[in-house]
Amino acid sequence: MSPAKDLPKKIPFIQVGKTVLTIWKFITSNIKVTIGSGIVGFFLLVAIFGPMFIHNNPALYTRQINLSPSWQHLLGTTTGGQDILEQLIVGTSTSIFWGLGTTIAIESLGAVIGIVGAYFGGWWDELLTVLSNVFLVIPGLVLAIVLAAFLPRGSLTVSAAIFVTSWAYVARSLRAQTLSLRSRDFIVAARSMGERTWRILFFEILPNELPLVSAGIVNNFSNVIVAMATLEFLGLGSLNTISWGTMLYWAQVNAALIVGQWWWFVPPGLCIALFGAGLTLINFGIDEIADPRLRQFKSRKRKQLKKVTTI
Amino acid sequence: MKYIIRRIGFYLLAVWIAVTIGFFLPRLAPGNQTDSFIGRLEANGPLAPSAKQAIEVALGVDTKDNLFVQYIHFLQNLLHGNFGVSYSNYPQPVMQVISESIFWTIGLLTVSIVISYILGTLIGIFSAWNRGTAFDSIAPVATSFLASIPYFWMAFILVYFLGAKLHWFPYYGGYNTNFDTGTSAYYLSILSHAILPAITLVISTLAGWLLTMRNTMVTTLSEDYVQLARAKGLTNRRIMLMYAARNAILPSISGLALSMGFIVGGQIVVELVFSYPGIGYTLLQAINANDYPLLQAIFLIITLAVLGANFLAEIAYMLLDPRIRQERK
């Protein structure tokens, strides 16, 4: 048993401290996770606190149009005279929060479908598995684009279209996990004690799958951000909202590319790429922690190993 | 054999679900979908009620049938390859609009997937073989970084630097309109116009193949038969390619099938940036013009094509992996 077992259970400071310590240990355990968390943390801070520092409306048209970067406008201005840095900060906030919300919704739906199917088995499982597999082979982005094209334009449409098309991976991985949990002793015990089914599903099984779910969130987050930016870039998002995707849409519409206004289309894309890279690094780290075979040997150890094999 | 029948059944079901989604898609749209189209025609003057009705008949939306009868009609039309009339290219049938663009997409897609798959797999093999070296720490991370960039933004950057700035490659359209079709200059221009879109797709998809191959090969490298091959004193190249890589390639083949849908989705957006005359560009024009029959048909065509490709990949997988054949017997 862990040493925490001896402590009285209801001391919140210790609980919080323990959680922080666990997270800190996870972050510093692997160089890839450290760098990745740094990048993601930076973007989260900008998303939360950045908009507080912007006092004018970044969508407002001004007369200072098409300025290249200067001290006054660090990233220059658009064809409409809007400050690009301000737009970028507000856009970071929009993209990250919509992305996070959508990702969590996807994980939840996938978790419910995966867990329910695997737990009940039989016809339910058969049906839900086939449905997930079908959604895995149907090209998701194409369906999302067409779906969003038929619905009224807006952020919610973009989010919904991506939600509908990307739950299947989550459902499949959680189904596999639930299948292996279903016949464990503690579940059998809970069932024989007459616990209600929903309680078993969400208080016995789900907590045991939380590591998988959180890894899934890390994994999905960047895909969702890219998919949202893609749909918004196609003009399917809300054109009154500033986000990474709509910034790129306006840059394309105003031919920033041909005119050579690199300061307009480079920053939003770079943000998407950097944020995605941060999440990917965390994910690599999780993989390496979970599967020791992927871990890289320290070079000295490797040389020794080679010697042994050559002997 | 039973396994094959099961898979065929699954794909038939998938086709049916895709077709049903396709049927319901236009019914999600707010308002009467022909209104905007008729409104556009009426810009030149009011239409007589009989003319309006004639158009509705042509578009196939005049029916008062219930949903089920409409569904049956839809399926019948589908079997005859009849997807209706395009609003934005009126009165061209949708099928004709699609057939003009689909070969551009298939050509570009095939070439870029083949290049990217071979290149990515080779780098993956090399990376796993040299595990722990600088190359192995940099290559997977660098390509993953490239893969987390949206396809269309990658296209932006290439257009800007290699196209607009350096003028190395053309970056607009699929061919040079100054040349007559059929001349060798025309074909060369097709080739040169495909270079930038192809590079975009290759760079963006490289990481997937690389990582799958590297991670599986790391596993096969620690197998006994590789050890045995070393003990026999076989050359490194032989061990690397014929022992480790050969046994690691299977997961990457099924990965090829699963990621087909992603790549097609990415290509659609890339085509917009390059104004490449493929099916993706047509799709985007259909979105802007609210051309619902065209949208519906493009979704169905792309989905059916991806399902077909997946099915072929599964068959190939079965032929390549004797274990599956054995197990199912």
Best mutation target among B156, B165, B224 (most A Cβ atoms within 10 Å) is B156
Quote the CA–CA distance of B207 and B92 in Å, as a whole number.
Answer: 41
pLDDT in the model for residue A1 = 42
Q: How far apart are CA A248 and CA A242, in angstroms?
A: 10
As a whole number of angstroms, the distance between CA B128 and CA B133 comes to: 10
pLDDT at A252: 83
Across the interface, do A284 and B21 touch by the CB < 8 Å criterion? no
Q: Two tokens at B52? A: 């309006």
Residues in chain B: 329
Given a cut of 60, is residue B56 above it in pLDDT?
Answer: yes
Q: Which residues of A touch B150 (CB under 8 A)?
A: 226, 229-230, 233, 269, 272-273
Q: Tell me what pLDDT residue A159 has.
A: 92
Q: Give the span between the Cα atoms of A248 and A235, in whole angstroms.
A: 10
The residue among A128, A137, A252, A253 with the most chain B CBs within 10 A of its CB, best to mutate, is A137
From A227, which residue of chain B is nearest by alpha-carbon distance? Answer: B150
Give the residue from A146, A231, A287 with the most B CB atoms within 10 Å of its CB, the best one to mutate. A146
Helix (H, G, I), strand (E, B) or coil at A95: helix
B157 near A CB under 8 A = yes
| A139/B contact by beta carbon, under 8 A | yes
pLDDT class of A310 with cuts at 50, 70, 90 = very low
**B132: chain A residues, CB-CB within 8 Å:** 296-299, 302
Q: For residue A53, what are its two tokens?
A: 């520092």
Q: Which residues of B touch A269 (CB under 8 A)?
A: 149-150, 153, 156-157
User: Kindly report the CA angle at B180 between B179 and B182, in degrees rounded to 5?
Assistant: 115
Residue whose token pair is 């196609």: A234
- Chain B nearest CA to A223, separation (Å): 8
- Measure CA of the first residue to CA of the last residue in chain A; give whole Å: 44
Bridge partners, A83 (sequence order): A77
Q: Prior bond to B293 cis, omega within 30?
A: no
Is A258 within 8 Å of B164 when comparing Cβ atoms?
A: yes
Q: CB of B260 within 8 Å of any CB in chain A?
A: yes
User: From CA B159, how far away is CA B165, in angstroms rounded?
Assistant: 8
A281 in B contact zone (CB under 8 Å): yes
With CA atoms as reference, report the closest residue to A78 among A249, A226, A229, A241: A249
Q: Rounded CA gap, B291 and B325, in Å?
A: 46
Do residues A86 and A95 touch, judged by C-beta distance below 8 A? no
Of A229, A234, A302, the CB nearest to B284: A234
* Mean pLDDT, rounded, for A12-24: 76
| pLDDT tens digits, B185-236 | 788 888 888 888 888 889 888 888 888 888 888 888 888 888 898 888 888 8
How close is the nearest chain B Cα to the Cα of A278, in Å? 9
Beta strand ranges found along chain A (DSSP E) = none
pLDDT, greater one: B64 or A8: B64
Residue whose structure tokens are 């099915």: B311
**What count of CB pairs under 8 Å joins A to B?**
164
For residue B266, which residues of chain A lie inside 8 Å, CB to CB?
A: 141
The alpha carbon of residue A21 is apart from the nearest alpha carbon of chain B, in Å, by 28
Residue of chain A nearest B29, judged by CA positions: A150
pLDDT band at A311 (very low <50, low <70, confident <90, very high): very low
User: How far is residue B148's CA from residue A132's CA, in Å, rounded to a whole number?
Assistant: 25
- 3 state SS for A25-36: HHHHCCHHHHHH
Please report the pLDDT score of residue A53 as a whole number. Answer: 80
Q: Do B13 and A134 touch (CB under 8 A)?
A: yes
* Three-state secondary-structure class, residue B84: coil
Task: Return the residue of A nearest to B157 by Cα.
Answer: A266
Q: Tell me: the pLDDT tens digits for A58-69?
A: 777 777 777 777
Nearest partner of B127 among A308, A32, A296, A299, judged by Cα: A296
In 3-state terms, chain B is what percent helix, strand and coil (to 5)?
A: 80, 0, 20
Q: Considering chain B, what is the average pLDDT of its residues?
A: 81
CA distance A261 to B56: 46
ipTM for the whole complex: 0.83
Do the Cβ atoms of A141 and B268 come within 8 Å?
A: yes
pLDDT over 70, % of chain A? 87
pLDDT tens sequence across B81-120 = 777 777 777 777 888 888 888 888 888 888 898 899 999 9
* Whether A75 contacts chain B with CB within 8 A: no
Burial annotation A119-137 (CB, 10 A radius, 16+ → b, else e): beeeeebeebbebbbbbbb
Chain A interface, mutation test: which of B152, B275, B290, most A Cβ atoms within 10 Å? B152
For A253, nearest residue in chain B (alpha carbons):
B273
Q: Structure tokens of A269?
A: 């894309």
Mutate to test the interface with B, among A138, A244, A311 (most CBs of B within 10 A): A138
Task: Say what the alpha-carbon torsion angle B291, B296, B298, B303 is, to the nearest 10 degrees.
Answer: 160
Identity (one letter) of the amino acid at B201?
A: L
Label residues B290-323 b or e (16+ Cβ within 10 Å = b).
bbbbbbbbbbbbbbbbbbebbbebbeebbeeeee
| Chain-chain contact of B268 with A134 (C-beta, under 8 angstroms) | no
The model's pLDDT over B154-193, given as tens digits with 9 standing for 90+, comes to 888 888 888 777 878 887 777 777 777 777 878 888 888 8
Q: How far is CA B55 from CA A258, B40, B294, in A?
A: 41, 13, 16
Task: Report in angstroms the alpha-carbon separations of A257 from A220, B146, B159, B165, B204.
Answer: 30, 20, 8, 10, 20
Residue B125 C-alpha, separation from nearest chain A C-alpha, in angstroms:
14
Residue B125 makes CB contacts below 8 A (sequence gap 6+) with B213, B214, B217, B240, B241, B244, B245, B248
Mean pLDDT over residues B28-40, rounded? 66
Q: What is the pTM of this model?
A: 0.82
User: What's B60's DSSP letter?
Assistant: T
Note whether A39 contacts B: Cβ–Cβ < 8 A.
no
Q: Is the pLDDT at A300 greater than 60, yes or no?
A: no
* A173 within 8 A of A212, measured Cβ to Cβ: yes
A254 reaches B (C-beta below 8 A): no
The token pair that represents B131 in the structure block: 């595990």
How many Å lie between the alpha carbon of A202 and the closest alpha carbon of chain B? 30
Query: Which whole number is the average pLDDT over B254-267?
Result: 80
Q: Which amino acid is at B226?
A: V
pLDDT of residue B61: 62
Q: Name the nearest CA neighbour of B75 among B34, B32, B30, B18.
A: B18
Under a CB-based contact definition with an 8 Å cutoff, are residues A105 and A163 in contact? yes
Cβ atoms of B177 and B228 closer than 8 Å: no
Q: Which residues of A touch B227 (CB under 8 A)?
A: 309
A208 exposed, middle or buried (CB, 10 Å; 0-12, 13-18, 19+)?
A: middle
- DSSP-based three-state secondary structure for B156: helix
Q: Who has greater pLDDT, B212 or A14?
A: B212
Residues of chain A neighbouring B291 (CB-CB closer than 8 A): none
